[in-house]
Structure 1
């Protein structure tokens, strides 16, 4: 298990640990209905809910079940989204990947750049064999992004999660270590 949270640098981004100091910036997008639409969570109503999210990021890292990076633009230390792993299974060398991004930054390739960095980290540093993504059928933008990155749709998990008062179907996507381009 890792002791220090890793920082990842890409051409335009710094992916780093989020802290309570990031609450205000994160609340801006976690309270946005459009951003939260497919996350299985209601839009956050208070910054306190964002602090709970940050504590969860710390908890999954400490427990070794995941890690979530805050996405920041180089030279601008404001968190504009997050990307990372959850439900990590070291024995099976697999994990789910997830991401969200402030609406202001949609369509600029930022989510893809962050996803590439996190997927590479998962295969190279965490020795994962399989990275999964679970995406609601209506979330076509995330499906297109994941597919562009080489993930393959394996099937539909019917009524897989109960969130926001309803059962959600989710597409299961995966990328295997040997498939990374």
Structure 2
């Protein structure tokens, strides 16, 4: 990728996250409610936000991920992020992840951003499978994934060790043919 792809929806602009976004990222990544199911402790310093940005940049450079900052069209402040990680291009597969500042929950913003990123994954990255790992108590994320057409495949017991405990994860997937069918259904 020569230039970072900008995605636009009716209300949102999804763009590359830069070092200048560290303070706005820290605002939501330091929130215990936002981080409850993120797999990391809430951030406490701006350096942690810089490290997160650096990680986004390294996955892009290595072609193992791409993460968009979510902004409202009329503003440039990053209010969350959404993107792909662990891209396995030889298998046409990737994981997807997202988080959003608590002030913007319940407004359809995460759904709008996720829809744009999913479309990019199938149409531009030519993925066949997008998967999401979601902790069972994360009801909001489960509802969001299912609204986008993801199917629960099973439970991965004690799949991750984060924040001093083992977490079970539901494995959700969305396949290219499911996406194509859902697009045709909306036409």
TM-score (norm 1): 0.99
Q: Which residue of 2 aligns with 1:127?
A: 126
Does residue 1:29 correspond to 2:28, yes or no?
yes
Aligned to 1:12: 11
What do you get for the CA RMSD once the two structures are aligned? 0.5
User: How many angstroms apart in 2 are the aligned matches of 1:75 and 1:147?
Assistant: 29
Q: Which residue of 1 aligns with 2:61?
A: 62
Alpha-carbon separation, structure 2, partners of 1:138 and 1:16: 30
Give the structure 2 partner of residue 106 of structure 1: 105
Gaps of 5+ in 1: none
CA distance in 2, matches of 1:4, 1:172: 32
Query: How many equivalent residue pairs?
Result: 180
Could you tell me how far 1:4 is from its partner in structure 2? 1.8
Runs of 4+ with deviation above 2 angstroms: none
Q: Quote how far apart the aligned CAs of 1:75 are.
A: 1.2
Residue of structure 2 equivalent to 1:76:
75
The equivalent of 2:145 in structure 1 is 146
Deviation per residue, 1:24-68 (Å, 9 max, x gap): 111000000000000000000001100000000000000000000
Query: For the residues of structure 1 that align with 2:98 and 2:117, how far apart are their CA atoms?
Result: 10
SS in 1 for 2:167: strand
- Secondary structure of 2:39's counterpart equals coil
More helix per residue: 1 or 2?
Answer: 2
* Alignment partners' CA distance in 2, 1:37 and 1:73: 24
State the TM-score, normalized to the length of structure 2. Answer: 0.95
The offset of 1:5, in angstroms, is: 1.2
Aligned to 1:87: 86
The residue matched to 1:84 in structure 2 has which SS?
Answer: strand
Aligned equivalents of 1:133 and 1:7: distance in 2? 22
